[in-house]
Amino acid sequence: MSKKTHQQQLAARKAKRQAERESERRRQRRNLGITVTAVAAVVVVLVGVFVVFGVGGDDKPAALASAPAENKPASIPTAMAAAPKRATPLASEVNCTYKKSAEPAAKKVDPPADGKTKASGTSKVSLNTSIGDLQLTLDSALAPCTVKNFLSLVGQKYFDNTKCHRLTVGEGLQVLQCGDPSGTGSGGPGYSFADEVYPTLKYGRGILAMANSGANTNGSQFFIVYGDASGLTPQYTAFGTIDEPSVKLIDKVAEAGVTPQNGPQDGSPIIPVDIKSATAAA
């Protein structure tokens, strides 16, 4: 084999690997939304995108649990992202509307009241989980209607005794997804509300954002970015941050890997993350 032919073959293999990685990133971005009907159909035929979990108990993380290398992150960035900030601030108050969905609620809950909401101030929420306490700071200057909704769900104990059903560990999308009492990835609160995004929105380690099934379909599912999120475009409402000690707890879960359900780097976490209770600071 000539040197030139060998170089051409190496270049072709490299191009194929890059194309495969990009295809995987695109697929994971699509799946960050929750398409209720599609997921439900898949679960019926037992080829589920997400695992259905039981609820409750005092489960402890399996310290020795681990997955094959292909089901783990190759690396996780250690630098925390800067807290998101709107280039153009919102008005002092915005109007929030919460519309009933066609799908029933995964857990009975009342929507927040419609009407004006202050677009300023922060709120603290603590998630007591099976891996330790996760400390969240919600920012109403970023997404006042989203913060109002999250605090309403916390107050109604919607997140109590639920599972974080999804973990992604691939390049460009490293997130832990929670907020579905059904544990299937298709459950919500029975209502939806509009996106609160903006063109310069970026995601990174420590950012808290809403999952959705398309424009203006926010409900209860949210994700925590623990690592690389370079594959995300600004279509998921960022509404706060999680502190560094909390992110490091999620690192340990990510490093153990996933049980793949939607590709080798996308599935349920090997180490379960159970939300025992969610509490807002007084």
Asked if 28 and 173 count as a contact pair (C-beta separation under 8 A), the reply is yes
Beta-ladder partners of 128:
133, 277
Q: CA–CA distance from 260 to each of 29, 103, 158, 245, 274 (Å)?
A: 16, 27, 27, 27, 18
* Rounded-to-integer distance, Cα 51 and Cα 104, Å: 20
Look at residue 36 in the predicted model and tell me its pLDDT: 32
- Which tens digit of pLDDT belongs to each residue from 136-155? 999 999 999 999 999 999 99
Look at residue 66 in the predicted model and tell me its pLDDT: 75
Look at residue 154 in the predicted model and tell me its pLDDT: 98
Look at residue 118 in the predicted model and tell me its pLDDT: 98
Residue 73 makes CB contacts below 8 A (sequence gap 6+) with 169, 170, 174, 227, 254, 255, 265
Look at residue 282 in the predicted model and tell me its pLDDT: 79
The rounded Cα 188 to chain-centroid distance in angstroms is 14
Architecture of the domain defined by 93-280: Beta Barrel (2.40)
Q: Over the range 218-238, which residues count as b (16 or more CB within 10 Å of their CB) and which as e?
A: bbbbbbbbbbbbebbebebbb
Beta-ladder partners of 116:
95
- Which tens digit of pLDDT belongs to each residue from 190-219? 999 999 999 999 999 999 999 999 999 999
- Length of the chain (residues): 282
3-state SS assignment for residue 79? coil
The string of DSSP letters for 206-268 reads TEEEE--SSTT-B-S-EEEE-S--TT--S-S-EEEEE-HHHHHHHHHHHHH-EEESSSTTEEE
Residue 136, burial from CB neighbour count under 10 angstroms (0-12, 13-18, 19+): buried
- Which tens digit of pLDDT belongs to each residue from 222-233? 999 999 999 999
Instruction: Give the residues of the chain that fall short of pLDDT 50.
Output: 34-64
> For every residue of 133-172, which 3-state class applies, written as one string?
EEEEEEECCCCHHHHHHHHHHHHCCCCCCEECCEEECECC
Look at residue 16 in the predicted model and tell me its pLDDT: 62
Residue located via tokens 């019926």: 44
Q: Specify whether the backbone of 110 is left (phi greater than 0), alpha (psi in -120 to 50) or beta.
A: beta
For 275, the enclosing helix (H) or strand (E) is: strand 274-280
For 108, the enclosing helix (H) or strand (E) is: none
User: What is the average pLDDT value for the chain, to the nearest integer?
Assistant: 85
Look at residue 51 in the predicted model and tell me its pLDDT: 28
